[in-house]
Structure 1
């Protein structure tokens, strides 16, 4: 029950921060944005101490540990793969352009007899 109250308080703080943005409409933008940031920070701080918040922190730590296990490609592999993708895109663009112009020629010039002016 206390976690639900804490979570409700966290949401209320976030809503208060957003409401502060509109209530402070006569202030400069920095103050208005800071009210949203303060509401968000206060809401996160309260939510941090709930059971779902603790589970999220454990999940985030495990996600970071798993990301460190990933075998990332080297710079050379990344550049080669990028070059292959760009090459394929250029080849497909030329192919589609040739196909489009061929169909245009067949339809307009041969079948319909229309000439471009």
Structure 2
């Protein structure tokens, strides 16, 4: 129950930040944005101390660790793969154009024959 109350408080803090943005309509934009950022930051701080918040932080840490283990392609490999993708896209576009033009010609021929 405590987690639900903390999450509700976090939602209220976000709403308070957004309300501050519109309530400070006559103030400088930096102050208005600061109200939103402050509300979201306070909400994140409150949400951090809930069970779902701790699970999210653990998930984020594991995601960062997993991303560090990924073997990224070299620049040369990335450029070659990109080239292959572009060539494939051009070939598929040409294929679809030929099929479309052929079907259009066949349809026109059938329409002329029928009239």
**TM-score per shorter chain, which class?**
0.7 to 0.9
Q: RMSD between aligned alpha carbons?
A: 2.0
The Cα of 1:92 is off from its aligned counterpart by: 0.9
The Cα of 1:4 is off from its aligned counterpart by: 3.3
Cross-structure match for 1:28: 28
Q: Distance in 1 between matches of 2:107 and 2:47?
A: 65
TM-score normalised by the chain length of structure 1: 0.81
Greater Cα shift, 60-69 or 2-11: 2-11
Deviations 1:12-40 (A, max 9, x none): 11110011122222333332222111100
Cross-structure match for 2:14: 14
Cross-structure match for 1:99: 99
Cross-structure match for 1:85: 85
Gaps of 5+ in 2: none
TM-score normalised by the chain length of structure 2: 0.83
Q: In structure 2, do the counterparts of structure 1 residues 46 and 113 end up closer, same or farther at CA, with 3 Å as the change threshold? A: same
The Cα of 1:57 is off from its aligned counterpart by: 1.5
Residue 46 (str. 1) matches residue 56 (str. 2): no
Greater Cα shift, 2-11 or 99-108: 2-11
The structure whose residues are more often helix, as a share, is: 2
> Number of residue pairs matched?
113
Deviations 1:64-96 (A, max 9, x none): 111111122222221111111110110111111
Deviations 1:43-75 (A, max 9, x none): 111222233322222221111111111122222
